Amino acid sequence: MTVNEKLIDFIKQSPSSFHAVETIARRLEAEGYISLPECTAWTILPGGKYFVTRNQSSVIAFSVPTAAPRGFMMCASHSDSPTFKIKEHPESESAGMYVKLNTERYGGMLCSTWLDRPLSVAGRVVVKSEGKIQSRTVCVDRDLLLIPNVAIHMMRGANDNMSYNANVDMFPLMGSTAVKGSFKKIIAEAAGVAAEDIIASDLYLYSRTAATVWGAENEFISSPRLDDLQCAFASLEGFLAADAKDSVPVLAVLDNEEVGSQTKQGAASTFLYDVLMRICSALGMEYLPAISCSFLVSADNAHAAHPNHPEFSDANHRPKMNGGIVIKHNANQRYTTDAVSQAIFASICEAADVPVQYFANRSDMAGGSTLGNIANTQVSLNTVDIGLAQLAMHSSYETAGAKDTEHLITALTRFYSSSLNVLADGEYAIE
């Protein structure tokens, strides 16, 4: 399989953040990683490989070198994407002939891109089973829903400054009134449980549109959820391919970036801190010196220059798809990159023979945010914000460069194989 085929397969297996974490956990287990439940004491041994999940939607994996480690080489990305969450009582009748589902927005999507395409439902259900309460992933693996546009004849202004009301325009159609009451049964059947055993659920829409590699020279890849599963996939591959000697490589894929990260499993939580503290105490490492000799890569996709609107990019900082890793700058530190973290990460990319390019917003545009600076409020250390250049961020179908996944895997393999020796504040050696 080519790298892009593997990426497409990874995304297909990951229609929700729960599935992304399950897909990563399965891969880690196949590579000999041991699951550490947060509710037990941990035994961590030199040479061991481990992972921890929280809320089934965030995961942190690490491997321990055989020699005493100096610090942590970490990469964080996110498992969630903008979508619509299905409410507790979702079914409602419309026009005396339809059953549609009541949803609310999760994150900041481009609404128009969710219209007129096959959709379905994925997430988790919590079931009562043999006296226990048990969470299980569920994915309805068929075309189940669609949000229809209004015909141009009925809405003449549809091509001019259209606005979308999430409580009116974005509800998906499920069937005729004959199917009233069947949503829960469809979910139960897909989960392999009895409908009456489902106590609660976290269910989201996902796009069924298949990914494709396209363009005159097959230079582009389009798919749902490239932000941020492209970085999650590439960091997993780089993490698994690395040969770490002096530092602990840490892979973090965290939920809820799209809604600000302030959840028990998001980048604003203590999840990363908790795992690092437990590693330190198990290995007899001192936390604070270890953190000062550590580095975090915050990996979340970046905006490529748009073919029809290049003016939206800063004239001197226009990332190019297939142009390699984008190092992101923001004076107000919504991106964590500074001169030191840029120098360290760009040196690693250079050593790995991977091209880098630079992004900054136009000075009159606020731009987006990500998880690096939020993670720094819990674990503070040198951090760089990077991503792969893509078009149509937060569309239900995004486009990126077909060669860039490989660029990121190569760079992160090198990164995870390295360690940071801090000689003084402001003086570093990459070893």
Based on CB atoms, which residue is closest to Co ion, 100 or 328? 328
State the nearest-atom distance from the C-beta of 258 to Co ion, in Å: 7
Chain-centroid distance, C-alpha 359? 20
Decide: helix, strand or coil at residue 279: helix
Based on CB atoms, which residue is closest to Co ion, 33 or 206? 206
State the nearest-atom distance from the C-beta of 300 to Co ion, in Å: 4
C-alpha to C-alpha distance for 37 and 53, rounded to whole angstroms: 7
C-alpha to C-alpha distance for 99 and 186, rounded to whole angstroms: 14
State the nearest-atom distance from the C-beta of 393 to Co ion, in Å: 7
C-alpha to C-alpha distance for 271 and 53, rounded to whole angstroms: 9
- The answer to whether the beta carbons of residues 295 and 341 sit under 8 Å apart is yes
Based on CB atoms, which residue is closest to Co ion, 117 or 394? 394
State the nearest-atom distance from the C-beta of 56 to Co ion, in Å: 20
Per CB under 5 A, residues contacting Co ion are 227-228, 300
HSE, side-chain direction, 13 A CA sphere, residue 295 = 28
Helices (H) and strands (E) in the chain, counts: 9, 21
Based on CB atoms, which residue is closest to Co ion, 254 or 381? 254
C-alpha to C-alpha distance for 293 and 234, rounded to whole angstroms: 24
Integer CA distances (angstroms), 353 to 200, 322, 324, 374, 388, in order: 49, 14, 10, 30, 16
Based on CB atoms, which residue is closest to Co ion, 201 or 313? 313
Cα torsion for 391, 80, 214, 240, to the nearest 10°? 120
Residue 423: closest CA among 431, 413, 415: 431
Based on CB atoms, which residue is closest to Co ion, 293 or 388? 388
State the nearest-atom distance from the C-beta of 21 to Co ion, in Å: 16
Based on CB atoms, which residue is closest to Co ion, 202 or 227? 227
Q: In what order do the strands lie in the sheet with 173-176?
A: 132-139, 119-129, 198-207, 83-94, 98-106, 173-176
C-alpha to C-alpha distance for 375 and 106, rounded to whole angstroms: 21
Based on CB atoms, which residue is closest to Co ion, 242 or 254? 254
For residue 227, is the peptide bond before it cis, meaning its omega torsion is within 30 degrees of 0? no
Based on CB atoms, which residue is closest to Co ion, 227 or 385? 227
Structure tokens that stand for 161 in this block = 């400054």
State the nearest-atom distance from the C-beta of 403 to Co ion, in Å: 20
Based on CB atoms, which residue is closest to Co ion, 300 or 406? 300
Cα R_g (the chain), whole angstroms = 22
Q: Tell me which amino acid residue 379 is.
A: V
Structure tokens that stand for 139 in this block = 């994915």
State the nearest-atom distance from the C-beta of 211 to Co ion, in Å: 17
C-alpha to C-alpha distance for 323 and 304, rounded to whole angstroms: 10
HSE, side-chain direction, 13 A CA sphere, residue 337 = 23
State the nearest-atom distance from the C-beta of 371 to Co ion, in Å: 8
Based on CB atoms, which residue is closest to Co ion, 69 or 266? 266
Decide: helix, strand or coil at residue 10: helix
Structure tokens that stand for 374 in this block = 């939020």
